[in-house]
C-alpha cells in the first residue's frame, strides 16, 4: 500500500509517518513545505519527498501515481479542500482522511461547550464547515476527523470516537492518539468509511483542557 501525507512536516504528520514506518510496510509520499530538508531524518527507500504547497494541485496530482490513500494533516479551507477532492477524483484515489475541528454540526455539548465556543467561534458557520460539506458531498471513501484541543504525551494513545449526530464533550486529546487512530484507519484496524468522527480522550469531559 502507498499513502500520501499532505502536511507531513506538522507534528501529527510526522507522528503518522513514524507510526506507518514502524507498524506497516507501506510506502509513503511526504508532501509539504521543504519536507525534503525538514524531514531528511526520515529518509528511507519507502519514503518519497515532495516539496510543495497545498494549492499546487497539479503537483499533488502528479505524485498520486500508485497512491491508495491520502491523509490531509491540516485543517484546510474550502478552496484547498475542493482542489484536493477534485484531483483525487481525477486520479481515481478514493480513500481520503481529512483533519477538521469539532462543532461542525453544533455537536459540542456539556461543560466544554462554553469555553470551546468562546475560543474557537461559531464553527458551523465557518469555512471549516464548508470544507466538511465538500468532502461529505464527494463520492470519496472519506473519513473526516473532528479533533478536539491537542497536547503531547508520549505513549498516550487513548481515544474516544463519536459519530456525526452524537454529542462531543471531550476537552482534549493527544497528538499521539490522533496519529495512531489515523494509522489504524489506513491499515483497516479502525474500520470507518464515509463518516465524520469526533476524536477526544476518554475521561476529559471537562469545562476546558487541562493545559489551559
Residue 48 has φ and ψ, to the nearest 5°, of -115, 130
In which band, very low, low, confident or very high, does the pLDDT at 27 lie, cut at 50, 70 and 90?
very high
Kindly state the average pLDDT of the residues 125-146: 98
The pLDDT score that the predictor gives to residue 189 is: 98
Average pLDDT of the chain, as a whole number: 98
The pLDDT score that the predictor gives to residue 36 is: 98
Q: For residue range 68-114, list pLDDT tens digits in order.
A: 999 999 999 999 999 999 999 999 999 999 999 999 999 999 999 99
In which band, very low, low, confident or very high, does the pLDDT at 142 lie, cut at 50, 70 and 90?
very high
The pLDDT score that the predictor gives to residue 107 is: 98
CA gap 129, 135 in Å, rounded: 10
Kindly state the average pLDDT of the residues 1-10: 98
The pLDDT score that the predictor gives to residue 162 is: 98
The pLDDT score that the predictor gives to residue 153 is: 98
2-200 CATH choice from 3.40.50.720, 1.10.10.10, 3.40.50.12280, 3.40.50.450: 3.40.50.720
Kindly state the average pLDDT of the residues 7-13: 98
Q: For residue range 45-55, list pLDDT tens digits in order.
A: 999 999 999 99
- Percent with pLDDT over 90 in the chain: 100
Domain range summary for the chain, segments of one domain joined by +: 2-200
Q: Where are the beta strands (DSSP E) in 38-135?
A: 47-51, 69-72, 95-100
Residue 203 has φ and ψ, to the nearest 5°, of 80, 15
In which band, very low, low, confident or very high, does the pLDDT at 24 lie, cut at 50, 70 and 90?
very high
What pTM was computed for the model?
A: 0.98
C-alpha cell at position 27: 510506502
Round the CA-based radius of gyration of the chain to a whole number and report it. 16
- In a 3-state reduction of DSSP, which class is residue 3? strand
Amino acid at each position: 500500500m502507498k499513502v500520501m501525507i499532505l502536511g507531513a512536516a506538522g507534528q501529527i504528520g510526522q507522528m503518522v509517518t513514524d507510526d506507518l514506518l514502524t507498524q506497516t510496510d507501506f510506502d509513503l509520499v511526504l508532501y509539504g513545505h521543504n519536507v525534503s530538508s525538514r524531514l531528511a531524518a526520515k529518509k528511507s527507500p519507502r519514503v518519497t519527498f515532495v516539496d510543495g504547497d497545498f494549492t499546487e494541485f497539479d503537483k499533488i496530482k502528479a505524485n498520486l501515481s500508485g497512491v491508495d490513500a491520502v491523509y490531509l494533516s491540516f485543517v484546510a479551507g474550502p478552496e484547498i479542500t475542493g482542489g484536493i477532492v477534485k484531483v483525487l477524483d481525477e486520479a481515481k484515489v478514493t480513500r481520503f482522511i481529512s483533519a477538521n475541528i469539532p462543532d461542525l454540526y453544533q455537536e459540542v455539548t456539556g461543560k466544554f461547550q462554553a469555553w470551546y465556543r468562546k475560543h474557537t467561534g461559531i464553527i458551523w458557520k465557518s469555512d471549516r464547515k464548508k470544507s466538511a460539506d465538500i468532502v461529505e458531498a464527494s463520492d470519496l471513501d472519506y473519513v473526516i476527523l473532528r479533533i478536539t484541543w491537542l497536547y503531547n504525551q508520549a505513549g498516550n494513545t487513548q481515544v474516544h470516537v463519536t459519530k456525526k449526530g452524537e454529542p462531543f464533550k471531550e476537552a482534549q486529546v493527544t497528538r499521539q492518539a490522533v496519529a495512531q487512530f489515523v494509522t489504524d484507519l489506513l491499515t483497516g484496524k479502525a474500520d470507518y468509511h464515509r463518516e465524520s468522527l469526533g476524536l477526544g480522550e476518554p475521561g476529559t469531559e471537562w469545562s476546558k483542557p487541562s493545559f489551559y
